[in-house]
Chains A and B, each alone.
Chain A
């Protein structure tokens, strides 16, 4: 489902070149849960953005859902994100002026597949957010916001879910809840790649990948 071979990423910082990733080889089969771990600044989020077709690697090959990302144009990458990938971020990244319901219905990027009203109501009910559907993100707790972000990521049942430290701003109870939801999604056949520091993820992950100094240490 996700394959990376020899993936490197360099950033230019003035005259200095910073190597965020160095020759990463990684494979995450369909229906697997991979936890990406490592110290801050080791390139975990960069790796996730590359898999999510939001960053181009400097070198290497990336395949997601059978698509070779290097060959895709900008609109094709946007379409891939809309159709095949669900994102969850540490900072939730909900649109602040849209209600819970409207944030969830944004999924799909306005192209092709659009969430059905019933599907949105269903996933909000499943995540305990039915009574919050008309609320704005600013009126929710951190845990509720992250569940809304999860609902948005999962409502269209994308084959791949990428989660960038989704438990980073949550208390242990809510963190465990988020990991449980992602694990359930994996159990339903989805592929999950989650950047995390949380030890809770280790218990459910099929694969734990450790990055250190921009390179793969173990996994």
Chain B
């Protein structure tokens, strides 16, 4: 009789034992898979929430008087628009999502508005592709809530700014900040209205925390700016930057602590079950040894069963774990719900590691079984 046939017969005979072991492995795998999948989602959700706090870096012309900058909310100095394109495609930068801005007050139908022209995002190499700023078509504007209320604007309305006609593309909801009196438009339109072609007065960005290995991240940013754009000056909104960094560390620390804990716990669980199974089979092992079967055949019987349980448990556990993550994850992580997808490489690793775990967990009881004196085993039973 082949080892595999004997393993199948033993499984069929001890169905409850097999089912319990399978449930244990399945639970361990599904717990790990669902936890890992949702941990990834949690990381993305946190990143998105932090990102939604807004830009935390402002680069203004070096000669900007910061006292006046903070009083007005914008720099009165300007710099060439092309400065922002120096960052495009550059590798190893700690800056992400750079947007060139030209903002100055203008009068619209007798009301003061802060005209804000936005360029498309400039992307250094290795930074995420998601877009943070409005992508505003030339000839259109997005109006802040206060302007909408005072001017009685509706989406689709015509609105003249300076000498140029615009269509109101979006009426923004109240933000409780200076953004409520902003009139967003394409950078080229703002340059045209303000008579400042090719000029900007600010570059907004986010620090890409993932690229900063630690230590003084502001010093790192300033050092990079000095290299890339010596004509600029860095202003960092400290509370946002700190919140981002701290939150990222919390999430990374949480995952780094829990994943080994979960894996270790599952390993111990599977090992304990393997031990119990081998103890239950001591008499059978004693019989086989008395009949002259060697350690190889007996080891194969134990290991093959462990591997079978590991393989089946991996497949079922991955399927249920992924299903749980896909169905429950979106309730927890609403912003990044669409990003919760089955992780294919996790399946292959699970398929490799679960049988490996069950086999390793069976090693100690297996060694005990094949080295134990069969006379003692048979005498006890």
B381 CB within 8 Å of chain A: yes
Looking across the interface, which residue of chain B has its beta carbon closest to that of A91?
Answer: B381
Per-position 1/0 for A87-105, Cβ under 8 A of B: 1010101111110001001
User: Which residues of A pack against B, CB within 8 Å?
Assistant: 45-46, 49, 52, 54-55, 74-75, 78-83, 87, 89, 91, 93-98, 102, 105-111, 136, 152
Total interface residues on B, using CB and 8 Å?
26
Knowing A54-B374, A96-B13, A109-B294, the reply to whether A45 touches B286 (Cβ < 8 A) is: no
Chain A residues with CB below 8 A from B287, complex form: 93-95
How near does chain A come to B195, taking the closest CB pair, in angstroms?
92
Looking across the interface, which residue of chain B has its beta carbon closest to that of A77?
Answer: B292
B14 CB within 8 Å of chain A: yes
Q: What are 30 A-B contacts with C-beta separation under 8 Å?
A: A45-B379, A49-B375, A54-B290, A54-B378, A55-B373, A74-B295, A78-B292, A78-B293, A82-B292, A83-B292, A89-B378, A93-B286, A93-B287, A93-B378, A93-B381, A94-B287, A95-B288, A96-B13, A97-B12, A98-B6, A98-B9, A102-B1, A108-B291, A108-B292, A109-B288, A109-B293, A110-B293, A110-B294, A136-B13, A152-B291
Chain A residues with CB below 8 A from B378, complex form: 54, 89, 91, 93
Looking across the interface, which residue of chain A has its beta carbon closest to that of B9?
Answer: A97
B297 CB within 8 Å of chain A: yes
Q: Are B381 and A54 in contact, with the CB atoms below 8 A?
A: no
Q: Are B12 and A81 in contact, with the CB atoms below 8 A?
A: no
**Known contacts A54-B373, A91-B381, A93-B378; can you find 19 more A-B pairs with CB under 8 A?**
A46-B375, A49-B375, A52-B290, A54-B374, A78-B294, A81-B291, A82-B293, A87-B291, A93-B287, A94-B287, A95-B287, A96-B284, A97-B10, A98-B9, A107-B291, A108-B291, A109-B292, A110-B293, A110-B297
Chain B residues with CB below 8 A from A98, complex form: 1, 6, 9
Chain A residues with CB below 8 A from B277, complex form: none
CA distance A50 to B110 in the complex (A): 111
A-B contacts, CB under 8 A, total: 76
Q: Are A93 and B283 in contact, with the CB atoms below 8 A?
A: yes
Chain B residues with CB below 8 A from A82, complex form: 291-293
Q: Are B291 and A109 in contact, with the CB atoms below 8 A?
A: yes
B289 CB within 8 Å of chain A: yes
How near does chain B come to A69, taking the closest CB pair, in angstroms?
13
Q: Are A81 and B292 in contact, with the CB atoms below 8 A?
A: yes
CA distance A81 to B286 in the complex (A): 13
CA distance A91 to B379 in the complex (A): 9
